[in-house]
């Protein structure tokens, strides 16, 4: 393989390898993957917000139940005193005091969950805005990349077409050179055959003598016609030319009396 062919193969290989890498490292796929990851993260944050809200709702319901019990114990303590049952009133008040501690702990948990909910909701809001902004930028970059890729392909196609045209031009130049060489060779062989330097194997025996005699006769005929023109005598075979206005005049050309004078 010649150096030019080897270089061409290397160039084609590098071009294909580069295109394969471009497909592997397509930024559009990378952007889509990043967007999908951000969407998943946003979904996780929203799920966390929902879970915290659910936990807060459970504590709220539990607090409402404890509040109802707290009010009932207060009513029971009052009724026990009214019935003269101080012992029952004391028991109700003790339970009410214990319930106050439990409610206080529940209130602290509820406040903590409210804070977490507010933080998660703020994080969700920011992340939603970021994902939306990233999506717009992603689509813009993808569209720009696709347009640039199309332009590159168009330029490569034009470049390839230019190379093809150059190759066609080179082929035409080579063909013209071969035609000229063949024409020159044909003319040279004709001259060699005419001079007798080359032997025509297809010609009849003594054809060279006949060819030379024919040349002598043709020269003599030309001399005869020149003498006739100089003397003002019209050659016999020129008479049809005077009848050129007749449709069949051409049939008489060369049919006149060609006997020498």
Longest dimension (CA), the chain: 182
Task: Report how far apart, in Å, the C-alpha atoms of 124 and of each of 46, 118, 130, 187, 239 are.
Answer: 7, 10, 10, 92, 115
Task: Report how far apart, in Å, the C-alpha atoms of 190 and of each of 39, 81, 155, 200, 258 are.
Answer: 87, 150, 52, 10, 30
Q: Which residues lie closer than 8 Å to 208 by C-beta, 6 or more apart?
A: 196
In the chain, where the domains are located: 7-190, 207-252
What tens digit of pLDDT does each residue of 214-249 get?
878 888 888 888 888 888 765 555 554 455 566 666
Closest by Cα among 67, 53, 65, 66 to 114: 53
pLDDT at 129: 92
**Quick check: pTM over 0.85?**
no
What tens digit of pLDDT does each residue of 141-170 get?
888 888 888 888 887 777 666 666 666 667
pLDDT at 23: 55
Which residue has tokens 């930024």?
Answer: 27
> Quick one: which H or E segment has residue 58?
helix 27-82
What residue ranges of the chain have pLDDT lower than 50?
240-241, 258-261
pLDDT at 220: 87
């Amino acid at each position: 393989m010649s150096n030019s062919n080897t270089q061409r193969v290397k160039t084609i290989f590098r071009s294909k390898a580069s295109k394969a890498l471009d497909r592997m490292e397509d930024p559009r796929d990378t952007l889509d993957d990043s967007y999908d990851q951000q969407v998943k993260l946003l979904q996780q944050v929203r799920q966390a917000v929902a879970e915290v809200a659910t936990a807060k709702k459970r504590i709220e319901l539990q607090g409402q139940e404890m509040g109802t019990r707290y009010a009932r114990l207060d009513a029971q303590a009052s009724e026990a005193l009214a019935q003269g049952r101080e012992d029952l009133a004391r028991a109700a008040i003790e339970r009410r005091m214990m319930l106050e501690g439990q409610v206080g702990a529940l209130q602290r948990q509820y406040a903590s969950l409210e804070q977490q909910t507010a933080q998660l909701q703020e994080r969700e809001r920011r992340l939603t805005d970021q994902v939306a902004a990233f999506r717009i930028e992603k689509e813009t970059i993808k569209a720009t990349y696709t347009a640039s890729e199309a332009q590159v392909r168009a330029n490569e196609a034009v470049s390839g077409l230019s190379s093809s045209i150059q190759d066609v031009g080179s082929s035409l130049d080579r063909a013209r050179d071969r035609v000229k060489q063949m024409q020159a060779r044909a003319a040279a062989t004709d001259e060699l055959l005419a001079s007798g330097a080359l032997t025509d194997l297809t010609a009849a025996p003594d054809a060279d003598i006949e060819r030379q005699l024919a040349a002598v006769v043709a020269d003599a005929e030309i001399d005869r016609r020149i003498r006739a023109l100089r003397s003002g005598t019209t050659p016999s075979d020129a008479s049809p030319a005077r009848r050129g206005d007749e449709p069949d005049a051409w049939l008489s050309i060369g049919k006149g009396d060609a006997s020498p004078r």
